[in-house]
Amino acid sequence: MNTLYIRHYVPAPGSGVQCPPCDETNKALRAIVDELSPKLKNLDVSLTLQTLEIPEITSRNSSKLNYLSFYGPEMGLKAERSIEDVLEAPLSYSQCEGCVLSGGDPFPVRTLEIEGEPCRALSSGVLTDALIRVVFSVLGDCSAAGERDFLSIMKDLPCTLCTYYTAWKVQVKPEGSPPGGDLRHS
């Protein structure tokens, strides 16, 4: 079984830091991992979520909060790939209501631009899109049997991901569609 690590950086409990986008992203991420793990085992892929808690957060290191990456040395993914790299999404930092350091000072939070919209908390659709893209990239060209297994997994996923898979296989995107389809609200 090939392990794909998903790393998500959050404030440690007791740090006094509040980061609602971190909480929302982590909740969605846990649900996605729980839902897709059994299905990806058919492709010899084991998902491992590593929630990495940062105990002491200051204005200098708060930019690491809500950072999400993928790493799978057994699968040929020897260097971490950030979600913004996987999705080819612009990254910025923006003020967020409720994001405060232990002293009460606000801090800017990681913000991805998805389909022209700023996303601080990443939805299950965005997370699924990134995960599927990583799995596609490391699986490469599937054998006919592997592709049948993969398509049986895909039938239970949102149809926009099936469209993305088909487009990925032939190296074109559906006309007029942004990367991955409209997944912000999935």
- Rounded CA gap, 46 and 44, in Å? 7
Count H helices, E strands: the chain? 5, 7
Domain boundaries, the chain: 2-169
Between 180 and 151, name the one with better pLDDT: 151
* The two three-digit tokens of residue 152, written as one number: 């049986």
For residue 24, what pLDDT is reported? 97
Q: What is the pLDDT of residues 100-129, one digit of tens each?
A: 999 999 999 999 999 999 999 999 999 999
Percentage of the chain modeled with pLDDT above 90: 67
Q: Pairing mode, if any, of strands 106-114 and 2-11?
A: unpaired
- Rounded CA gap, 5 and 80, in Å? 9
